[in-house]
Amino acid sequence: MNPPFSAIFLTTLIGAGQGLFLMLFGAEVLLGPVATLPQARLFLAIGSLVSLALTAGGLIASFFHLGQPQRAWRGMAMWRTSWLAREGIALPLFMAGVFAYGLIQWFDLGGSLVIGALTAIVCLVLYVCTGMIYVSIRFIQEWSTPLTLVNYLLLGCASGATLATVLAAFSAPGLVIPFAILAAVFKVAGLLTRSASLLRNARLKPRSTLQSAIGIKHPRIVQKAQGFMGGSFNTREFFHQRAPQFLRSVKWFFLLMAFVLPLLLLVLGVTQGSPGLLLLAFATQYFGLVAERWFFFAQANHPQNLYYQTIS
């Protein structure tokens, strides 16, 4: 597939925003009465604002992937059968919940646990909707696995927990170590599940053949040309036009940048008490997740590429 950067930024930004909110609400639940102190409420309010900004950024990015953005609302009408429509409903609901949760914390209103719990449920539903958009596409074997859904959840929580560690370093030092431990756990878990998906995809064998692609059962078919001189919508949208060596380079790059290096920076930031290193850990991880998501789309092999494989 040709990786759409609008979808890449959508999934990485809202994933980080969702993960951050889950960390904030989890902290409020575990802190108990301490969460009612002014400093704790300020931390939760600022964190909610950052989470809302990330998800809003992802929502804005999504509009660049639409042919007619003004008609985006019509997609929600297909919520009974479309995971994309369900995501389109869950995302604004999640944003509304985060906004309400942040207001409650800022103005010290009641009901934060109830609003937080409902928003956390919507957050998990949103993770499921986003992941299932790709899991449900059966003919793209690289996506059609439960590991896709698990990776979306773990990678989002990993980036969100890292960002929560950064925010805690500036306004809630007592939460730095707990958030850092959670971030490390999610990073390691994400590395294991993403590696598992890479190993699985490396062993995949296409279900379709050139014979089935064109409906001819002859045992030996050699394609000489696509049938026209230039490219087409199919060749632009469903193939990335990159060499296999480039894909391998991106794979090792995102494994390093999204998991290994951020984990090292996280450990150094905590041991040295350096907010700058923690911020660098988040920035490095996000950059790595952008590369990971690019690879996620590029590795997907659309069956139509069996037909459009020779330009001339």
**Residue 42, token pair as written in the block:** 């300020």
At 212 the pLDDT is 76
pLDDT digits (tens, 9 = 90+) for 67-102: 666 666 677 788 888 999 999 999 999 999 999 999
186-213 residue pLDDT tens: 999 999 999 999 999 999 887 777 777 7
Mean pLDDT of 258-267: 97
Which residues lie below 8 Å from residue 188, measured CB to CB, with a gap of 6+? 259, 263
Contacts of 186 (CB under 8 A, 6+ apart): 19, 154, 155, 157, 158, 161
> Under 8 Å CB-to-CB from 246, ≥6 apart: which residues?
none
pLDDT above 70 coverage of the chain, percent = 91
| Percent of the chain's residues with pLDDT above 90 | 67
Residue 69: per-residue pLDDT: 65
The pLDDT of residue 312 is above 50: no
Give the gyration radius of the chain's Cα atoms: 22
The average confidence (pLDDT) of the chain is 90
Mean of pLDDT values over 117-122: 98
User: Quick one: pLDDT at residue 126?
Assistant: 97
Confidence check: pLDDT of 310 > 60: no
Nearest to 191 by CA among 283, 261, 128, 277: 261
Q: Which residue has the tokens 């998906």?
A: 197
Q: Would residue 312 count as lying in a domain? A: no
- Of 202-206, 240-244, 306-310, the least confident: 306-310
Q: Residue 60 has which token pair?
A: 């804005």
Domains in the chain, number? 1
Residue reference for tokens 């439960």: 146
> What value does the mean pLDDT take over residues 110-134?
96
In which band, very low, low, confident or very high, does the pLDDT at 309 lie, cut at 50, 70 and 90?
low
Higher pLDDT, 247 or 20: 20
pLDDT at 152 over 90: yes
Burial class (CB in 10 A: 0-12, 13-18, 19+), 188: middle
Q: Evaluate whether residue 311 is within a structural domain.
A: no
113 found inside a domain: yes
Task: Report pLDDT digits (tens) over 132-142.
Answer: 999 999 888 99
Asked if residue 140 is part of any domain, the answer here is yes
| 3 band by pLDDT with thresholds 50, 70 and 90 | confident
Question: Which burial class, exposed, middle or buried, applies to 181 when counting CB atoms under 10 A from its CB (0-12, 13-18, 19+)?
Answer: middle
- The pLDDT of residue 228 is 58
To the nearest 10 degrees (0 to 180), the angle between helices 244-255 and 176-202 is 160
Return the DSSP state at 257: I
Q: Which residues contact 12 (CB under 8 A, 6 or more apart)?
A: 58, 159, 286, 289, 290, 293
The CA-atom distances, in angstroms, between 146 and each of 16, 17, 28, 115 are 20, 22, 31, 30
179-193, 267-281, 289-303: range with lowest mean pLDDT: 289-303
Q: According to the model, what pLDDT value does residue 210 have?
A: 74
- At 192 the pLDDT is 98
Give the structural domain span for 267: 5-306
CA dist., res. 165 & res. 173, Å (int)? 9
Tell me, what CATH number does 163's domain have? 1.20.1630.10
DSSP E strand boundaries for the chain = none
